[in-house]
Structure 1
Amino acid sequence: MTAITADAELILPAPAKLNLMLHILGRREDGYHELQTLFQFLDHGDELGFAVRQDGQIRLHSAVPGVPHDSNLIVRAARSLQEASGTRLGADIWLDKRLPMGGGIGGGSSDAATTLVGLDHLWDTRLGEDRLAELGLRLGADVPVFVRGRAAFAEGVGERLQPVTLEEPWFLVAVPQVFVSTAEIFSDPELTRDTPPIKVRSLLEGGGRNDCQPVVEKRYPEVHNALILLNKFVSARLTGTGACIFGSFPNRADADKVARQLPGSLPSFVAQGRNISMLHRKLQARAKK
């Protein structure tokens, strides 16, 4: 992927997330699903660079295979901010893509959120977090949690967020080499859609599962086999609709030790869970200078 050029005026992270649990409560009349999930960020992700243009054009200089320029969530996020704010400024944008597509760790949604937050800062549009989250929701259900940047218990389609403080363990995230279609999983007739709602307090005391996991395992043997393998070392589960799977560890050394025992055919990375996203940490540090 294209490296971020020295022309970038602002370089920001677009962190990964994990769904530590994901319950499907039912299907709404509009086709979306009511769910409950627990989001936590990782200190690992994509990186974006931004520079202001005076001609109003939005140009993403890093091509993403299979995604046309104007369909990319980054470009759509930038244009939605332009429209909402009325600014005449544009942007050159560069993407250093590190997160897998179709992995369930929020790559595209996080890129879109970093674009909204970053350009709101660079263009000085000052729309505020609530408005940016509203714009983000139009782009995808996971975008608002990245805009707000705090670990959260989410309800609705994932847009009703209640900040939570979680332990920040180390995670080993394995990346089966398949692209999982979220729409395909949510339309599967075998998906559990009647899990009873739970309170965040009982969730934080332990429990929860991923209702999408049985469907994904059945459809994608690569995910099923990776879970069998990782479960030999640690309790493993799917994040989102996958394909990525994860297990938690009390320290980095333990996570690294297991990572070294995984086969080369199953790529992985180790990262720490974060209750405040690396995007917001970077902007807070920048504001203090």
Structure 2
Amino acid sequence: MNPVSSHTHAPWPAPAKLNLFLHVTGRRADGFHLLQTVFQFLDYGDVLHFTVRDDGAVRRVSDLPGVAAESDLVVRAARLLQAETGCGLGADITVEKVLPMGGGLGGGSSDAATTLVALNALWRLGLEEDRLAALGLRLGADVPVFVRGRAAWAEGVGERLEPVDLPEPWYLVLVPPVAVATAAVFGAPELTRDCPPITIRDFLAGRGGNVCEPVVRARFPAVAEALDWLGRFAPARMTGTGCCVFAAFADENAARAVAARLPAGWRGFVARGRNRSPLLERLAQGVC
């Protein structure tokens, strides 16, 4: 039997997310931080390709500097799905990496979620969204929101999700030339861990900031510089634990006009906010 299916499927998107605010409200006994945040997707991100194998092997066939295939979340996600379902099929996985690592855009989590959703379809496993999200949580706190694919208010460690309907502005996202380790930020003694809980209504009325921002500003001057520069044009905020910073604009032209003024050597991109993930739209197209 030929171990590899000859059918090449259309690519699957693994979109970026933004944390529109991020508060830490406490800490669990196991050390995990309790959060409040709002996730929104971007129409920009990594792209994954899957070729189904008949022999059960799972291989990442693209290079990703600094990330060994065996520890890559896409490989771990595929093997978890196999283990949970007893599926005898495998896959060759190619990751076109666009999102920066350590950027706060959720690239690794999004890749893992796309792997779960795509292989559930391609292997014809029939797992429901709740089951896939539960598997995703075992891989990382941000994976479930990418599996579900809807902009969400999040609490707990980020796994308690409530869909929200948000404006879908255009964003300019700056990518400072640093990688911020999430564990280092959450481990910082100066991090605020006792934010009073707010409500969705509070957030929509303009309350909420990112408590990780002062920590990262102090430790990474390039992030502070990006926040200050972008803040001259619109309210600027860091996403997640950084390093990327963003600002919202009413239309694409306004975002691109500011992007055109980026200092030499700076990286950034313009993308539309999306309440429905591009992954859901791809899933709706079926196995093709």
Establish whether TM, by shorter chain, passes 0.5: yes
Paired residue for 1:66?
A: 66
CA distance in 2, matches of 1:126, 1:245: 38
Structure 2 Cα separation of the partners of residues 249 and 91 of structure 1 = 40
Query: Hey, what does 2:164 align to over in structure 1?
Result: 164
Q: Which residue of 2 aligns with 1:3?
A: none
Paired with 2:171 and 2:198, the residues of 1 have a C-alpha distance of 25
Select between 196-205 and 151-160 the one with higher mean Cα deviation. Answer: 196-205
Report matched runs for 1:1-289 at 5 Å. 8-284=8-284, 286-287=285-286
Q: Is the 8 A contact 1:39 1:154 kept in 2?
A: yes
The CA distance in 2 between the partners of 1:124 and 1:66, in whole Å, is 32
**Distance across 2 between alignment mates of 1:126 and 1:7:** 20
Per-residue CA deviation, residues 151-193 of structure 1 (Å, 9 max, x unaligned), is 0000000000000000000000000000000000000000000
> Separation in 2 of the partners of 1:157 and 1:288?
33
Amino acid at match of 2:105: I
Alpha-carbon shift at residue 29 of structure 1 (Å):
1.1
| TM-fit CA distance, 1:288 | 11
How far the C-alpha of 1:265 sits from its partner, in A, is 2.2
Instruction: State the partner residue of 2:3.
Output: none
Percent of counterpart pairs with the same letter?
60
Distance in 2, matches of 1:287 and 1:92, equals 19
Deviations 1:6-47 (A, max 9, x none): 963241000000000000001211010000000000000000
Partners of 1:168 and 1:243 in 2: CA distance: 22
**1:226/1:266 contact within 8 Å kept:** no
SS at 2:11 equivalent: strand
**Deviation digits for residues 185-214 of structure 1 (CA, Å, limit 9, x no counterpart):** 000000000000111122122221001000
How well do the aligned residues superpose, as a CA RMSD in angstroms? 1.3
1:171 and 1:249 in contact (8 A); partners too: yes
Amino acid at match of 2:115: T
Q: Matches of 1:255 and 1:276 in 2, distance apart? A: 21
Which runs of 5 or more residues in structure 1 are unaligned? Answer: 1-5
Q: Which amino acid aligns with 1:239?
A: T
The 2-side partners of 1:82 and 1:32 are apart by 28
Aligned residue type for 1:149: G
Q: Counterpart amino acid of 1:110?
A: S
Partners of 1:180 and 1:63 in 2: CA distance: 22
For these two proteins, the number of residue pairs brought into alignment is 283
Contact 1:10 1:51 in 2 (8 A): no
Give the match's secondary structure for 1:43: strand
CA–CA distance in structure 2, aligned partners of residues 156 and 164 of structure 1: 17
Could you tell me the TM-score, scaled by structure 1's length? 0.96
Match of 1:64, SS? Answer: coil
Q: 1:94-122: CA deviations, max 9, x gaps?
A: 11111100000010000000000000000
| Partner secondary structure for residue 16 of structure 2 | strand
Shift of 1:75: 0.2
CA deviations 1:26-74 (Å, max 9, x no partner) are: 1211010000000000000000000110110001111211111100000
